[in-house]
Amino acid sequence: MPISRARTIAFDVLLRVAKQDAYADEALRAELDKTVKAEDAGLATELVLGVLRWQRLLDFFIDRRLSKASKALDVEVRLALRLGIYQLRFLDRIPASAAVNESVELVKRARKRSAATLVNAILRKAAKEPLAGTSPADGAARLLSPEIPLAERLGIQYSHPTWMVERWIRIFGEERTRSLLQANNRVPALSGYLLDPEHGDEAMQSLQHAGCRIHPGRLLRDALVFEGGNPSACDAARKGWVAIQDEASQAVASLLAADPGNSVLDVCAAPGGKALALARAAGAQGHVVAADLHEHRVRGMRERFELAGVRNVETIAFDAEHPIPFEGPFAQPFDRILVDVPCSGTGTLARHPEIRWKLRVEDPRDLHGRQARLLRNALPHLAAQGRLVYSTCSLEPEENESVVREVLGSFGETYQIADPRAAIEGLLLKSVHVQSVVCNDGFFRTFPPAHGTDGFFAAAIERQKPKA
């Protein structure tokens, strides 16, 4: 029987994630061209991200029906089973026959015909299981032995690695960890904002033409939340009238409080969303240097800025883990510096679910050294009384406050943590208190279950004026 295009795309993308270490959103974009119908694109996206979010729980349901000898399945066979179980357990509108039969055909298409009988048997048994109106996570909880340790139990029930759950219980406590696990398994909001208010009406028309329903933001006054359609592919996004960016990420750029005429350095700028916002804030008399390690990413930013008609940004490639090689016109210190460092991404697991399976227990500690080098090398380029913002989309203390405190401690009293409330308070919705995002330690933090955004950390740092 023929296999629907949506399931074929989903299987191929999941195979690339599993075998080539690809990122799901990039692999999906490569597959979902203009020849793919909207309904197929929607189902393929749901299947890919749903299977990745619930991978461990799906494997729990699969492995219950396998003997010890048969649990070492080929990756193609396990992916077909995950797709089938996900449709049976999580998607009400998918006929059981379609979920079972097309998963069997996917195994055959992957040249694993010998496993077709096994896949058929497991999925047919799963289709007959009484669900009794329970959620899959609650259903799993009833099947787990009470002797299983809490972190492992929650890891299976909410589909996260046990080590990750253990560390979060240690950091956040059980209740907040449980709410975080649940938030990571919800479809995240797709947010953005108007980059060019002069084209506001045209931008809204473009978004609506692309099938987007537009709602107010959840955190920021000027944020937009998109429902339906594909805002990234509309003219408003291509022309730089609208930026697609999570609200917490939008807030980070605002913490710099860039003023017209400022010189700004964005150290790890690709793909360029924050640099665009900073260029608008600096204005025609200001100047932004958008840097990245990889030349191809710098080229991508350059094309994005040109398409958006932004003329006050200069792109450059360098490795900021080494002393930054500024000379000539770049030798002058910058009024504002953004150091949005590569990180574990644990604040974005709802948006990028495969990250939870790629990360290792030692990664937050290993990333700390790299992040500290990036911050340490950027600080000397900050002008007196200038502001630098260090940020991550990580929830892990090793990547956040411990980096800031370690690096600032090595400079003595030259730099100090600045209070970011004045920069952010006027941008928040009236219903959002600034104390909910700026903690007593002076750091900016968002927590997915509390704010409905990605989890971000940011520290505003100011260089002290030299004593006379």
State the Rg of the chain over Cα: 24
Residue 72: exposed, middle, or buried by beta-carbon count in 10 A (0-12, 13-18, 19+)? exposed
138: CB partners within 8 A, 6+ apart: none
Please name the residues in contact with 76: beta carbons below 8 A apart, sequence gap of 6 or more: 15, 106, 107, 110, 111, 112
Is residue 431 classed exposed, middle or buried when 0-12, 13-18 and 19+ CB atoms within 10 A define those classes?
exposed
Give the catalytic positions in this structure: 393
CB count in 10 Å sphere of residue 454: 26
- Listed residue (292, 281, 286, 226) closest to 252, CA to CA: 281
- The identity of residue 267, as a single letter, is V
3-class state of residue 345 by DSSP: coil
Q: Give me 11's structure tokens.
A: 């299987």
Non-local CB neighbours of 442 within 8 Å, separated by 6+ positions = 417, 418, 419, 420, 459, 460
Nearest alpha-carbon partner for 258 in 138, 423, 444 = 423
Helices 75-90, 116-128: crossing angle, 10 deg rounding: 20
| Residue 346 to residue 177: CA distance in whole angstroms | 13
Tokens of 259: 């003023």
End-to-end CA distance of the chain: 82
Best CA proximity match to 344, nearest among 390, 391, 393: 393
Q: What span, in angstroms and rounded, lies between the C-alpha atoms of 358 and 5?
A: 27
Evaluated on CA atoms 348, 350, 353, 358, the torsion sign reads positive
Are 5 and 40 within 8 A, CB to CB? yes
Buried b / exposed e across 289-307, counting CB within 10 Å, b at 16+?
A: bbbbeeeebbebbbebbee
Per residue, the 3-state secondary structure of 198-223, as one string, reads HHHHHHHHHHHHCCCEEEECCCECCE
Q: Could you give the CA distance from residue 65 to residue 126 in angstroms, rounded to a whole number?
A: 9
